[in-house]
């Protein structure tokens, strides 16, 4: 079975997307390495900074990514788009190697928010961007109304658990 790496595009200390991600990694019935991408936060990307060299934390994150074949990425939505933190992380990683995820690496995308769309507006953009870096989205799942559908570390809506199980099954078929 492929080695799966899970991380979030959030650097919030109490991220609801990381809470969802943790639940998914406990639910998926596969060996998953869960990391906090915020532990590898890099300075804002610029060409001038790139000329100074790749930051050590980006190189360390890239080494972890290189050890995995598939990815589960939870990404919050800021104004209908991926977070600045996620974009910055991807910008730096793309400077280590263009296809830093590998070649046709299976990806499952997750998102949640307090609203009714669950942050899914940004998932299409993230899916598009990840394609440049070797990622192929095999499944997507958005949990709407986090405060109503998630408690005590788990999804409490029967319908949402069913939707998640379907997404997990799609992802696992690609492994």
pLDDT of residue 12: 96
Render pLDDT for 14-37 as a digit per residue (tens, 0 to 9). 999 999 999 999 999 889 999 999
The domains of the chain, with CATH numbers, are: 4-173 (3.40.50.360)
Q: Are the beta carbons of 20 and 150 closer than 8 angstroms?
A: yes
User: Would you say residue 140 has pLDDT above 90?
Assistant: yes
3-state secondary structure of 98: coil
Percentage of residues in the chain with pLDDT exceeding 90? 98
pLDDT at 29: 87
Q: What is the mean pLDDT of the chain?
A: 97
How many alpha carbons lie under 13 Å from residue 61 in its C-beta half-sphere?
Answer: 28
pLDDT in tens, 99-133: 999 999 999 999 999 999 999 999 999 999 999 99
Give, in degrees to the nearest 5, the angle at Cα 63 between 94 and 60.
85
Q: Tell me what pLDDT residue 54 has.
A: 97
What percent of the chain has pLDDT above 70? 100
pLDDT greater than 80 at residue 1: no
Token code pair at residue 137: 């989205």
In sequence order, the 6+-apart residues with CB closer than 8 A to the CB of 88 are: 42, 44, 45
């Amino acid at each position: 079975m492929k080695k799966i790496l899970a991380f979030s595009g959030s650097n919030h200390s109490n991220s609801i997307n990381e809470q969802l991600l943790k639940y998914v990694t406990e639910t998926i019935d596969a060996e998953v390495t869960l990391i906090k991408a915020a532990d590898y936060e890099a300075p804002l990307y610029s060409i001038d900074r790139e000329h100074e060299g790749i930051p050590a934390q980006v190189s360390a994150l890239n080494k972890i990514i290189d050890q995995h074949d598939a990815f589960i990425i939870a990404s919050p939505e800021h104004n209908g788009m991926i977070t600045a933190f996620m974009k910055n992380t991807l910008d730096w990683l793309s400077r280590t190697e263009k296809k830093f995820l590998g070649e046709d690496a299976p990806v499952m995308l997750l998102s949640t928010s307090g609203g009714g769309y669950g942050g899914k507006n940004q998932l299409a953009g993230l899916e598009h961007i990840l394609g440049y870096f070797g990622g192929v989205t095999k499944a997507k799942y958005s949990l709407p109304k986090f405060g109503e559908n998630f408690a005590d570390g788990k999804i409490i809506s029967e319908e949402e658990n069913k939707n998640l199980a379907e997404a997990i099954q799609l992802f696992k078929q690609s492994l």
